[in-house]
Amino acid sequence: MTEKEQLIQAFKSLDFEALQNLLDDNRSYMDVSKDLFLSRLKKELDEYKKLITYEKVIEGTCGSCNKGCKAYKFKTDGCPSLNLFFEEKNGKVTDIYLCNGLKVDTPDENDWDIYFKFYEEEKVSFVHTLEFSINLQKIDNAIEDFNRLSASGLVSIQELVNWYDQHKSLADELNLNDPFVSLKYKAFEYIDSLYSKVSDLVHNYNENYLAKEALREYEKLNKDDEKMIVSWLLKHESKYFFSLKKTDNWEKTGILILETEPSLVVDCSDFLDSFLYNDIYYRHYDEIMTRYEPTKEHFEQNGGSVERSLESYLKLHNKYTDL
């Protein structure tokens, strides 16, 4: 067997001892060391206790990074597939990585794939530059500033807005709170989570006037008139606000908890409308959605799939089509 054939057999049988022997200590795989590549793969596979071996290997074509090239789907029923591309040069496998655009002749709609990636610091190509060191210092300063806030006990929204604005240039530079950024640094993880949660709170603060307007309209509604409630829900469905952990009597005190690490007790009394609106909106929304859930017949009439939205559910029941 060729080297690639031996590797395919080892991946199929999930023989990590064979993979350890077959892969080259002096090469990187997915841009990380052999040992890290294998240990991360094994960790992912170990999440699925039934996945002892793959039953079959399906040849496919990469439709992404190596468009048109042969790639392989390792598949067994009831478990996630492993899609791999083997890079070769002169009959030698020089790299192995996940194929995220694998196309096969007979796709299985129930199939899902194992996916994992590595932090930039874990990659053999990573260089600890002066710029990276400066960013680490900026991150430490931002975290220290946040910890001083948490140590003070009750925090006002203005203090959090000031912290958020003060470190916005750092957030922009590091692409914090951006799910579409592909490069991930372990050193940025904590500040990313912190900034994201504070960002949610700042959003509620800045958009509170919209919640206030919607609540004024709500107070004028006849709560027993379903059509009026539905009309209000549809009108405001594009508005969104984030929830926080509630304290006792939060509606009177305005005190809520931002679940960061450490948690922050925040005085939200200046923009409590956003939280009140959220509770009221989704209480009615859930009630209506439950009341007009699609029937078995609805699913059958729509090919087994129904969009989960208020408008879609009402349309299925021919309700309030004039709204």
Q: Where are the domains of the chain?
A: 3-118, 127-291
Instruction: Select the CATH number that applies to the domain covering 3-118 from these four: 3.30.70, 1.10.4100, 3.30.160, 3.10.450.
Output: 3.10.450
pLDDT of residue 110: 82
Largest pairwise CA distance in the chain? 78
pLDDT of residue 73: 95
Q: What is the average pLDDT across 236-261?
A: 94
% of the chain beyond a pLDDT of 70:
100
Going edge to edge, which strands form the sheet with 82-89? 92-98, 82-89, 70-75, 56-62, 102-103
Query: Can you tell me whether residue 316 is helix, strand or coil?
Result: helix
Instruction: Place 6 in a pLDDT band, splitting at 50, 70 and 90.
Output: very high
Give the tens place of pLDDT for each residue, 105-129: 888 888 899 999 999 999 999 999 9
Assess whether pLDDT exceeds 80 at residue 169. Answer: yes
Backbone φ and ψ for 21, nearest 5 degrees, come out as -80, -35
pLDDT of residue 268: 95
Instruction: Place 66 in a pLDDT band, splitting at 50, 70 and 90.
Output: confident
Q: Structure pTM? A: 0.81
Assess whether pLDDT exceeds 90 at residue 95. Answer: yes
Look up residue 181 and give its two tokens. 């950024």
Strand partners, 61: 70, 103
